[in-house]
């Protein structure tokens, strides 16, 4: 093996070590965020259900539903990221599981962006139809730049998962060619 090939192998191993270190740290952060998110979701759901601010049962049901859905989407995305970073910490980078998990994160982020548009529209419609009171934390119109940013982020995550999928295919194909070449020698 040539010196340049050996130094390239050392460089790759060094980068894998950095990915593993980052994965461990990011996994801890995701676990903490998931824990805080879970506790926060329970507190928010309890305050919606038992709090005095929401005066009608219809408004409480709507707020409870919206809070539950948004909490579920956010916690699901965080769990998927936790698992991706766990795989990276173990040195498993280009795996079908990571591709699937990143696709799920992208789809969940897309759902989050859609909810950011649909919830205010639905809230406004429910108020107009008289199903809920005029006061609602979900009435505000979506901020266009925020909605576009969420859709762009979802698109980028889905693009990364697609690139990883193509990279995984190419890696597997190269490994198969190498095995065939080794068999011929």
- What's the predicted TM-score (pTM) here? 0.82
What the block records as the tokens of 168 is 């995984």
Residue-averaged pLDDT of the chain? 88
What the block records as the tokens of 19 is 């990915």
What's the angle, vertex CA 182, arms to CA 174 and CA 14, rounded to 5? 55
Asked whether the beta carbons of 19 and 88 are under 8 A apart, the reply is yes
> pLDDT tens for residues 52-90?
888 888 989 999 999 999 999 999 999 999 999 999 999
Closest CA to 64 of 40, 39, 47: 47
- Considering its fold, how many domains does the chain have in total? 1
Q: List, in order, residues 6 or more apart from 137 with CB less than 8 Å away.
A: 63
pLDDT at position 45 = 95
> pLDDT tens for residues 126-171?
888 888 876 555 545 556 667 888 999 999 999 999 999 998 888 8
Domain interval for residue 56: 3-184
Asked whether the beta carbons of 138 and 68 are under 8 A apart, the reply is no
Asked whether the beta carbons of 115 and 69 are under 8 A apart, the reply is yes
pLDDT at position 94 = 86
On the question of pLDDT at 118 being above 60, the answer is yes
């Amino acid at each position: 093996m040539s010196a340049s090939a050996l130094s390239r192998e050392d460089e790759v191993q060094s980068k894998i070590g950095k990915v593993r270190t980052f994965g461990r740290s990011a996994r801890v952060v995701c676990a903490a965020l998931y824990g805080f998110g879970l506790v926060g979701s329970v507190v928010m759901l309890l305050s919606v259900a038992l709090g005095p601010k929401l005066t009608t049962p219809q408004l409480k049901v709507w707020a409870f539903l919206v809070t539950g859905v948004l909490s579920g989407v956010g916690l699901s995305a965080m769990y998927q990221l936790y698992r991706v970073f766990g795989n990276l910490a173990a040195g498993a980078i280009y795996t079908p599981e990571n591709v699937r998990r990143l696709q799920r994160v992208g789809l969940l982020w897309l759902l989050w962006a859609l909810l950011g548009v649909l919830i205010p529209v639905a809230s406004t419609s429910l108020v107009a139809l008289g199903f809920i009171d005029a006061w609602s934390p979900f009435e505000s119109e979506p901020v266009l730049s925020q909605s576009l940013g969420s859709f762009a982020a979802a698109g980028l995550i889905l693009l990364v998962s697609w690139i990883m999928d193509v990279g995984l295919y190419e890696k597997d194909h190269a490994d198969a060619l190498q095995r065939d070449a080794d068999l011929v020698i």
